[in-house]
Amino acid sequence: MEEKGNNSKITLGISSCLLGQEVRFDSSHKHNRYITDSLGEYFQFQAFCPEVAIGLGIPRPAIRLVKVSNDVRVRGVKDPEQDVTDAIKDYSRQAAKLCTELSGYIFKSKSPSCGMERVKIYSEKGDPLDNGPGLYAQGIMQQYPFLPVEEEGRLMDAHLRENFIERVFVYHRWQQYQNTLTPASLVEFHSRHKFTVLAHDEKVYRELGRLVADAGKADLKQLGKNYMSLLMTAMNQLATTKSHTNVLQHIMGFFKDKLSSEDKQELLSVLDDYRLGKLPLIVPVTLIKHYLRLYPDDYIASQYYLNPHPKELMLRNRI
């Protein structure tokens, strides 16, 4: 099942039911208006429903994850003899071939096939034992370990939402670089993402710097894989108020000597209010961008940190 729109939009994989398609076991959907109405302005969606794809009907008997010895199987709730484990695994491998152009994936939470995490796992007697990923989602995540993924429920958290969309744009930009990667283009990519990475993980920021320093010496293909692994490890870490403040202070350092004492005090006061949770991130960022228009700096202007995603999504207005 597939839905495509404007080819200029970034493509996200998504569970079909979140787009309003009536594909759930009870013939219902889980239409998420934020995804279709807000994110839909900037992204196009490629929809997947593994349960329908493997031939289960609509409606159909419910299935769940069941622990059998050391294995997790997907079995019917009312009919334990119904086992679709292998069929879902096979489909996840098939679907993965269609995911090469995706820049992110939104999964349906709590689904035994599509849940990203915290899906209930039962004993053969029907007792809840543990939690884990849905089988199809697990297959996609294993085959695309760097792909930004999220669940629709977690997108209602402002910090998780901003983090996911930022990761999607970083991943999408890397996709545009990776097929024609050169030492120079790797240096360029890294240079433009320095403050972005610093806001998420200072340790990885330093490790990436050391990797890029070897761009002209090491095997570039392997170095690119190592770079992407570290980059997405950093991006998976939520940026904190403290780390954002650190980055903003770094940026301020590029023009602070040009500010009047009153302007400098105002900016420091805004940064402090943000640090204390009195203002959202968009306020100090907007003020810094104002001063950068007055006192331009080519290096800072190249940084994606100040413009990580469309401002119309207002993601930094709530964190």
pTM: 0.94
Q: Write the single-letter amino acid at 110.
A: K
Q: Where are the alpha helices (DSSP H) in the chain?
A: 33, 50-53, 85-96, 135-143, 158-178, 183-192, 194-200, 202-213, 220-235, 241-252, 261-275, 282-294, 298-301
Of the candidates 73, 71, 76, 72, the one whose C-alpha atom is nearest the C-alpha of residue 56 is 76
CB hemisphere CA count around 275 (13 angstroms): 13
| pLDDT per residue of the chain (319 residues) written in tens, 0 to 9 | 334 344 589 999 999 999 999 999 999 999 999 999 999 999 999 999 999 999 999 999 999 999 999 999 999 999 999 999 999 999 999 999 999 999 999 999 999 999 999 999 999 999 999 999 999 999 999 999 999 999 999 999 999 999 999 999 999 999 999 888 999 999 999 999 999 999 999 999 999 999 999 888 888 999 999 999 999 999 999 999 999 999 999 999 999 999 999 999 999 999 999 999 999 999 999 999 999 999 999 999 999 999 999 999 999 999 9
